[in-house]
Structure 1
Amino acid sequence: MSDPALSQLLDMGIPGGRARAALKRSKGDVMSAAERVFAGEFDDVPSDDEEEEAESSSKGRGEENGVILVDDSDEEMADGSDGDESDGNDFDGFEDDGEIPEDRLLSDPYAGIFFSKERVEAVVEPIEEPKYVRSFMVKGERENVRVLGRGEWMSGCPEGNEQSFLFQLYSMLAEGRLPCSGGCGHEFVRNEDDFFLLFSDFSAYTAYLKGKTRATCPLCRQITCLACGDKINADGGLTPQNNGKAPNLPVEKILLHCPNVQGVLLGVGLHMIEQAFSSGGESRSQVKNMSGKSSVRAPPEKKQKTSADRLSLTISKTSREESDDGETNLDGPAISNGGVFEGGGVVSTSSKGIGYDGSSSDDRSGQKKAEEAQIAADSKTVILLAEVQTYLPNLNRPGGARTSDHLVHPTALAHLRRRSGFVNDLLRNDSLLDMSKREGLYTSLFDWLQIVSNHEALASMLAMPQMRPVSVSPCPDDLQSHIVTYEGTSSPRELLENCVIQAQAALKGLQSVSELSKTNEIHMTEEDKRVSKAELARRERVKQEEEKSDANFQLRSFCERIIASAQAIDRSLVETKGKAFVDRMRESLPKLPDSSIAVEDHALSAQGTEATIKIYEEWAGRARFQYCDLTEPSSSDKKGYRHAYSGSIQSLEGMDMPRRSLAIAKELAILTTSLPVAWHSTIFLQVDETRVDVLKAMIIGPEGTPYENGCFIFDIFLPLDYNQRCPNVKSMTTNGGTYRLNPNLYADGKVCLSLLGTWSGPGWISGQSTLLQVLISIQSLILCEEPYTNEPGWANDAGTPASKAYSANVRRMVLVDAMANNIKRPPYPFETEIKAHFRLKAKSIKEQIEKWKKLDDGKAVSGDSFLGAPGHTGTITFDGAAQEVKRLLGQLENGESIAGTNEKAAAKLTAADLASSSTSGIKGDVVGGGSKLAKVLGLKKK
């Protein structure tokens, strides 16, 4: 391994020979060595090995860290990189396509550098003791102010010559003398506390900096910029009228004088933003520093978890926050065992049973306090973002662009690239509902993105994978330094696409309001026609003002702003990176499918469990939310629906309420990207393409439960007074109304949860509860490891013989109905998803069946698992049901049609046979029923 101190100097652009000599002279002190080199102390040292060092460093970094510096003459490297990118649809890297004009290429400061989400980089950074300077008056109070040290100023994953520019600017402004621009011989003394102070707020810093950047010479009265050394021109300099005093100009006009000040302002400002987010809770996880001196923030995972933590459904102690593993938690507080969301904690069980617990009221004081704290923190962040945003390079600046807007200082670029993690933190929010509630903060974010995307030197950063610190370890060769490891994460543009998907879904949900208003337009009377144009214009203005205060209009405008931000970024990327680059990027972005997604045959040949899991989760992630046509052909004018609530749906045809449409729009936005996807359990949702209040869900039974890998269908309808009232949910996996799979899932389809109003206790909270919470309550609370304990009074009976017998019967029912029946007669519209699920999991399910066999008690399936309870009892045993499922899985694995021997046998049954099958555990011709079919399956006779 190369000397980390030497590597750091090489990253600053210092030739190898001079770097070694400087390190030797300074006894290994990196910063001291760099100061000596830039001061010219080693200019006489030969640099014959410079090219060799650069080549070695570039090669090492390319192989170990995933960073490739593309040279025009190195065609082989460029071709190889392009070839790697073209394999598959993943867009892990960021690189030019080589087809954009040279002037555009030059406008991109990072042109020719390949960035990758798979990149891992270890960087040696110095450990600095915090330094404070004397008290300053800040808003009438005295305050000790911390100095932004050189090491902290230069921290981050370096690229190109960034370190050299950062080091030079800091050294120039923090030390040394500056001659008067008037040439009188006077010298100004500069110190680090003139420019690099971290005040409690940014406005105090800019006010302080305003007084420090312009110094008046005591000899000639010439005003000099201490940042660049130039004379101050007539706009703000010495004139006969001001008697040698600088005029009282706005702070931003003074501080936009030169690129040097801009670099300092953005460096300090972005540090303040970074601190605000890390301390304010936006960045939820901290990486423990092994050296014990400092800590850095860890990035979320690049994708959702590949496993589901059973029953530890922690929906975060603070609502709508992102968990440490990168998985976005639900809106609202945690789920109680009654399906009701409380102020925090983990799902627990109660002696009253799942879905039965709860008091008449619910204490939400903790949640309200958290919301108030969030509002206060957001208000401060909005102010900070707006203040720092003023100094972003802005070609459309009010009053005209300044020199620093055109000639962006390299340190400004470096800080924007390294310290824009807050953009990803905010865009990683998977809840449009939360974003719309925090509209002020997100409006500030989109204003920021608009300025960045409109500047040709900055726009490309929005498509770059961000390097985020993940760990810190001691440096073995230097106790005054530590090694920070950075990993690549998603680019802001990639994360923004999830917000775009939600915004598009919300707009689709709002369409019903506009369509309804068009159909209910009032025709103008003769009196209306005689109204003057002025009066009509006045009415139109009043109408527009009323619309602006309308919640639907506000959400629509917010969604349109999200989509417009993404479009603006893409337009700028086309100009700076080329159309081919943008097309490739768009192809890799998440998107909603136009139709059901099948698994390609070649994907099924993947060897190994890990490869299969990856394929399954990628497929499920694309297929989890889709639109479909749930209507069914009808001879009458009235539409029919393939849905349990068809009658209710028809009764609301042509009716709507604005508040309902707003609630549905927000729900759809959440559901598009927040439905859980994992190998162990996934939730699929299909929404009618014209009636977004009509939905169907399919929940895959979670691992480790008697429901594992079964497909459970639920019909959902959002009533007219939704979200004031809970949704209507009915279980459709009941084997034709004969199976009660859980104390909370009845044979008639009733789903028992206080959240759904089907049991007393705290229930649906208007404006707070969501359909997503209902679905996850069913997935994690009802489809649980020991369903017997869901019954009131039996929560403490876990592990008892009665509980084991109940679970054994549930497993038999799952094999019969949630597996075999669904494979042979997949319910609309989940035919493709059911087929793909069982094809990909065939091997795993076969192994699962063998484990279940050891737990079976040898009894036949019973329609109600409560022993002795009146219900449907059949003749099908575990072995018979398992044999049928294995046969069907084998056909799916071989790509065969499901119309096999058993279906043919079922088709030959007489009416008498079918009648006799009414006493079996499997209805009709789906899997079994009757003695003939029982014989085919090898089942026991009564």
Structure 2
Amino acid sequence: MSWSFISTDHDQDAASLRLAMQLDAELNGNPQPGHQSTGTDFDADLAFAMQLDDQLNSRHHISALESPFDEDSEQDQELSNLGPDGEPSIRGGGRLGKESGKSNYHDHRRHHSSSVSTSSPRIFATFAEFATHMQSQKCAKCSSTLIQNQKDIEDLFKGWLTGQGLVESLVNCKRCSTLTCVGCGSRPLEKKLATEINVQGTKLTWCCSRGRLFVIWAILCGFDQQYCVGRQQEATKTGTGRRGNTSSGIGYGGNNYFGVGPDFIGPDYVHGPFHGGVFGYGGGLPSRYSYRPAHEQDQGKIKAQNAQSVSDNFNKMILAFLDELLPSLDRSSNFDMSPPEAVPSMLLNSKILDKAAELLRNDSLEDIAKRKELYQALLSFLRVIGTHPITASKTMYSERIVRPDTVNLLNLSFQKGVGALDQKQETTASLGDCLRNLNLQSSIMLQGAQKNEGEFRTQEGQDLLWLCRQVYDLAEFLLANTTRGSGALNKDDKENMDHGIFEIADQQIFATNQYAHNARNLRESPRGRMKRLITEITTLKTGLPPGIFVKYGTSRLDLMKMLIVGPAGTPYENGLFEFDLWCPGNYPYEAPKVTFKGTRGGSISFNPNLHLDGKVCLSLLGTWHGEPWRPAESTILQVLISIQAMILCDEPICNEPSQEGFRGSSESQSYNQNLRKLTTRYAILDWVENPPALWKDITVQHFKRNGARILQTVGQWEKACQIDSPYDHRGIFGMQMTTAYTENISDLRPKLQAALQMITGSLQSQGCVASRQSFSPTTKVNQAYGRGYGGQMPSHGGRGGFSGSNGIDGQGSRF
């Protein structure tokens, strides 16, 4: 209950008397018949009423945002103050340890002995202000500093993990072992605090709003420390350093389990509060990982799944904690209604948003469904931060600043100068954009399920659809209010919405696909095949990097046409290379079939792994030694990215195992010179002059946007070409290779310029420079993309892939 006092005139005895009587009645109940208040009690009530009137009127000038957070207890406001003589006094009269009937009102509540005065409130605008304040908090008994350095928070969080401490706002003084609420500086007189919640078997307790904010801060700091340790350990093992947004799921190179792991936590972990089916490391793999017999999995795979299981449970619990701790409009406490700005500041400087984005970028809905509990916790977390006014705009709909894995909330809170941002800050997609992409997959899956209900009647299918519905509902709810500039798609960006994959009429696919005859002969599709194909299409919708385009039949999802743009920095740069794909009747238990269409009837060879008959050598396709197609894990997306990154590479001569030693050699340079002529003639000029009808829309758009750059690149190739030293490639590759192409680039360039001018009507000369928006995406090594060459690592397979986030480059172009 609250009262509003306007008058500050303490000489108005009548008003003070009425107030004292009102307080006495409300706090102690109506006096029993025959009860007579003593003069001493009445004087005490009058004095307390005047004191309370003064305090509340001084607070009358505090802003609405500041006032609620000043009240340390969310349920009871502040239960204790310092009396006039410095001793703790209970609101309503009386002092602790003194006889007073007024203290009985508080007997059923949580008692605290306060060591702080009711001074004007301090509102924390940033995590740094709050962290500094936490480091100044003293023990209620001996006045020793409770949190002295970063290690104190690390030890506190580890104690929570191992069960050596409760998840609460109380901190044990190292000097006198007294428990003190680090939020308000009070000492508990009972075992229970003012607020206690149960999150999946783990109790979280705090006694005041600042205590609740402390628990949020400590959990985020602890999460960050373990997240960064996991990332650094992974970087040490792989030698990749900081990984980008491509490490997002099955389709991008496997499972990710950055974060907590058994090696980090130690043997005591199984006894922690998260144990017993909630966090559960040491209890064996959950049933969702038993879809493959153990004898088919090597020890490395089992260890990876075990690590991911631990990480998933850890992340699930952290997200569940934050769901209950962060301000929510579903709750009515002052902290929930008017939280401090330090809350979004903590989230923005923590790695928790990076983890959320990483999970949202998972390009496999089936993998997401297998990790349903984790993703349910994630969606609940997103709902909380996405609906509250203080967190929604900054944490959900704004681009996030990219920081190294070594910079996190923990060291930012204790180490001055860590993570100082440059003026040019690198940013990445907002959580809203990441959720939008996942929602796109979910929508396609739901639409496909309506047309193929029988494919989803299993428990696994129902789990998948349930999760898709959860994603769809949340996305529609959150993104309905997303406006331009906050990550929303522009209505005119139809190309971005297509994400490089297009549905076309079946007859268009059948007309030119190498496998049309095979597809026509397949009358029935085994159960599960169509569901898997729908899953593949949803993955391609959001997983395709720029430079790859796919068209598939309206009712024949198993028949596809693909167009891949040659990556920059390779002898294939900006050339167009067409492939046909078909998923056999036994798919996914049999790898897809792929044929290269650019051999000009078997007369042109672009690569030792693209044979004259169109055969594509890739281990995923079963046409090369190395990692095979795995039905439960491998995807069409992996196949496409492997072709782009590992076949259309910078030194393709090294694709042949016996020729790996030619890297950087004169033979490799000569081989590339010949390939540049082939690319200019057959993959660029021919496509400009006579684009296939199926690809005309993509082709025209590509050359309009990149025409100037193409001429610039071809001009550079012309200068570097060594016309007088042709190299006979038949000596290396035998009948696979044709003779060196004799037409010079100097002869091709004028023809190309004239043809491009017919399309653009604006190209000036070889040296003209187009805007950055018209350039093809810059090259980056796809360390987590390419698969399929066995022993040939990406370093031998060359370059591939492009910059950008979630398949769209920074300028909104797929070219």
Q: TM-score, normalised by structure 2?
A: 0.59
Distance in 2, matches of 1:456 and 1:557, equals 28
1:516 Cα shift? 3.5
- Structure 2: gaps of 5 or more residues: 1-62, 71-122, 173-178, 255-294, 408-413, 764-815
1:697 Cα shift? 1.7
Where does residue 377 of structure 2 map in the other structure?
Answer: 444
Where does residue 198 of structure 1 map in the other structure?
Answer: 156
Contact 1:395 1:455 in 2 (8 A): yes
- Give the direction of change, closer, same or farther, for the CA distance of 1:175–1:738 in structure 2 (3 Å limit): same
1:258 Cα shift? 3.0
Contact 1:724 1:766 in 2 (8 A): yes
Distance in 2, matches of 1:799 and 1:166, equals 53
1:725 Cα shift? 1.4
Distance in 2, matches of 1:415 and 1:501, equals 26
Contact 1:498 1:590 in 2 (8 A): no
Q: Secondary structure at the match of 1:684?
A: strand
Where does residue 506 of structure 2 map in the other structure?
Answer: 631
- Give the direction of change, closer, same or farther, for the CA distance of 1:862–1:825 in structure 2 (3 Å limit): farther
Distance in 2, matches of 1:334 and 1:584, equals 33
Which amino acid in structure 1 is aligned with residue 721 of structure 2?
L
Where does residue 807 of structure 2 map in the other structure?
Answer: none
Where does residue 649 of structure 1 map in the other structure?
Answer: 519
- Give the direction of change, closer, same or farther, for the CA distance of 1:567–1:764 in structure 2 (3 Å limit): same
Where does residue 702 of structure 1 map in the other structure?
Answer: 567
Instruction: Say yes or no: does 1:505 pair with 2:441.
Output: yes
Where does residue 695 of structure 2 map in the other structure?
Answer: 830
- Aligned length, in residue pairs: 580
Which amino acid in structure 2 is aligned with residue 175 of structure 1?
K
Q: 1:408 aligns with which of 339, 363, 370?
A: 339
1:165 Cα shift? 5.8
Where does residue 56 of structure 1 map in the other structure?
Answer: none
Deviation readout 1:650-692 (Å, 9 max, x if unpaired): 3446x43453234334433433333333xxxx32333444433
Q: Secondary structure at the match of 2:579?
A: strand
Equivalent residues in 2 for 1:449-848, closer than 5 Å: 449-461=382-394, 462-467=396-401, 469=403, 481-482=416-417, 484-486=419-421, 494-505=430-441, 507-509=443-445, 511-517=447-453, 547=457, 550-570=459-479, 574=481, 582-585=482-485, 588-589=488-489, 594=494, 597=495, 625-632=500-507, 640-652=510-522, 655-677=524-546, 682-759=547-624, 762-791=627-656, 793-796=658-661, 807-848=672-713
Q: 1:387 aligns with which of 317, 321, 334?
A: 321
Where does residue 855 of structure 1 map in the other structure?
Answer: 721
Contact 1:463 1:491 in 2 (8 A): no
Contact 1:166 1:411 in 2 (8 A): no
Contact 1:705 1:785 in 2 (8 A): yes
- Give the direction of change, closer, same or farther, for the CA distance of 1:742–1:490 in structure 2 (3 Å limit): closer
Instruction: Say yes or no: does 1:431 pair with 2:389.
Output: no
Where does residue 207 of structure 1 map in the other structure?
Answer: 166
Contact 1:797 1:803 in 2 (8 A): yes
Where does residue 324 of structure 1 map in the other structure?
Answer: 243
Deviation readout 1:689-743 (Å, 9 max, x if unpaired): 4433332222222344432321101112223322211111111122244323323
Q: 2:138 aligns with which of 162, 167, 175?
A: 175
Where does residue 228 of structure 2 map in the other structure?
Answer: 278
Contact 1:504 1:559 in 2 (8 A): no
- Give the direction of change, closer, same or farther, for the CA distance of 1:108–1:665 in structure 2 (3 Å limit): farther
Contact 1:274 1:422 in 2 (8 A): yes
Which amino acid in structure 1 is aligned with residue 519 of structure 2?
I
Which amino acid in structure 2 is aligned with residue 485 of structure 1?
A
- Give the direction of change, closer, same or farther, for the CA distance of 1:513–1:756 in structure 2 (3 Å limit): same
1:629 Cα shift? 1.0
Q: Secondary structure at the match of 1:485?
A: coil
Where does residue 267 of structure 1 map in the other structure?
Answer: 217
- Give the direction of change, closer, same or farther, for the CA distance of 1:256–1:887 in structure 2 (3 Å limit): same
Contact 1:202 1:384 in 2 (8 A): no
Q: Secondary structure at the match of 2:572?
A: coil
Which amino acid in structure 1 is aligned with residue 156 of structure 2?
L
- Give the direction of change, closer, same or farther, for the CA distance of 1:442–1:108 in structure 2 (3 Å limit): farther
Where does residue 743 of structure 2 map in the other structure?
Answer: 877
Distance in 1, matches of 2:397 and 2:385, equals 12
Deviation readout 1:322-377 (Å, 9 max, x if unpaired): 95344447737979xxxxxxxxxxxxxxxxxxxxxxxxx99954344223222222
Q: Secondary structure at the match of 2:560?
A: strand
Which amino acid in structure 2 is aligned with residue 199 of structure 1?
F
- Give the direction of change, closer, same or farther, for the CA distance of 1:835–1:881 in structure 2 (3 Å limit): same
Q: TM-score, normalised by structure 1?
A: 0.52
Residue identity over aligned pairs, in percent, reads: 23
1:820 Cα shift? 1.7
Distance in 2, matches of 1:254 and 1:790, equals 57
Distance in 2, matches of 1:563 and 1:107, equals 35
Deviation readout 1:256-311 (Å, 9 max, x if unpaired): 5532221222122222222232223399789xxxxxxxxxxxxxxxxxxxxxxxxx
- Give the direction of change, closer, same or farther, for the CA distance of 1:835–1:375 in structure 2 (3 Å limit): same
Equivalent residues in 2 for 1:273-352, closer than 5 Å: 273-281=223-231, 317=238, 323-328=242-247, 331=250
Where does residue 303 of structure 1 map in the other structure?
Answer: none
- Give the direction of change, closer, same or farther, for the CA distance of 1:261–1:836 in structure 2 (3 Å limit): same
- Give the direction of change, closer, same or farther, for the CA distance of 1:395–1:851 in structure 2 (3 Å limit): closer
Contact 1:394 1:451 in 2 (8 A): yes
- Give the direction of change, closer, same or farther, for the CA distance of 1:631–1:274 in structure 2 (3 Å limit): same
- Give the direction of change, closer, same or farther, for the CA distance of 1:458–1:426 in structure 2 (3 Å limit): closer
Q: Secondary structure at the match of 2:644?
A: helix
Which amino acid in structure 2 is aligned with residue 431 of structure 1?
N
Q: Secondary structure at the match of 2:686?
A: helix
Which amino acid in structure 1 is aligned with residue 229 of structure 2?
S
Distance in 2, matches of 1:170 and 1:868, equals 73
Which amino acid in structure 2 is aligned with residue 647 of structure 1?
H
Distance in 1, matches of 2:691 and 2:302, equals 45
Distance in 1, matches of 2:433 and 2:354, equals 12
Distance in 1, matches of 2:128 and 2:342, equals 9
Which amino acid in structure 2 is aligned with residue 331 of structure 1?
I
Distance in 1, matches of 2:527 and 2:698, equals 34
Deviation readout 1:922-941 (Å, 9 max, x if unpaired): xxxxxxxxxxxxxxxxxxxx
